[in-house]
Amino acid sequence: MQNLDGVRRIAENRIREALDEGQFDNLPGMGKPIRLLDDSLVPPAQRAAVKLLKNAGVLPEWAQLQQEIAREQQLILALPAQRAKAAASYILTLRGTFSERSYRYDEWRQYERSQFAARLKACNHMVLKLCMVGPQHFVTAHPLNTHQMLEEFDELVPTDLNSAHIAAKIPTPAHNTGGHHTGIIALTWARLRSILGGSK
C-alpha cells in the first residue's frame, strides 16, 4: 500500500510539473467534448457497420426496442386511472333494469381488465427479449410488477355497478328501476363535465 501511495505521489508531481511547463497546451481536441464510442461489445467484423449506422442516426434494434418499452410502460402506468375515468363515463350510458346494467358493467370491466393484463404481459415479454439481445451494460429497462399493477387496476376501477356509482358520486338507483333513473336525470351538465373531466 505504501509503495502504491509513493507511485501515486510521483505521478501526480510529474503531471503537475508538465502542466506548469505547458506540455498539455494545444493538444488535439483541446477545449472540445470527448467523443467516446464504446464498441468493445460489438464483434470486430461488425464495428465498421455499427459506426456507419450510428453516424447516420440509425439506432441498433435493441436500442429501438428499449425506447419502445419506455414509451409503452409510461402508457401502461397511466391506464388504471384512465380506465377508472372511463368507468364513470360508461355507467352513464347504461340503460335497462339494475340487473341488466350491472351485467353489462361486469362484462365491460372484465374485458378492460383482461386487455390490461394482456398489455402488461406483452410489455414484459419485450423486456425479456431486450435482455436477450441487448448488451448487458446498456439495458436499463425492467419488467413491470404484474401483480402490483393488477392490484392498482382493481383498486381504481370499481369492481361492480354499485361501487361505480359511489365512485362517480351518482346516487345508486333502486334495483327494480328501468330506463333513465332519477339519479342521472338530477345531474347537472356541470356535474357531468366534472365526472368526465371536460372543460367548464
pLDDT tens figures, 118-139: 999 999 999 999 988 887 777 8
CB 143 within 8 A of CB 158: no
| Cβ atoms 157, 80 nearer than 8 A | yes
Question: Per-residue pLDDT tens for 72-82?
Answer: 999 999 999 99
pLDDT at 191: 47
How many CA atoms are closer than 13 Å to the CA of 123, on its beta-carbon side?
A: 24
What percentage of the chain reaches a pLDDT higher than 90?
A: 37
Calculate mean pLDDT across residues 92-102.
91
pTM, two decimals, is 0.60
pLDDT digits (tens, 9 = 90+) for 184-197: 333 433 444 454 55
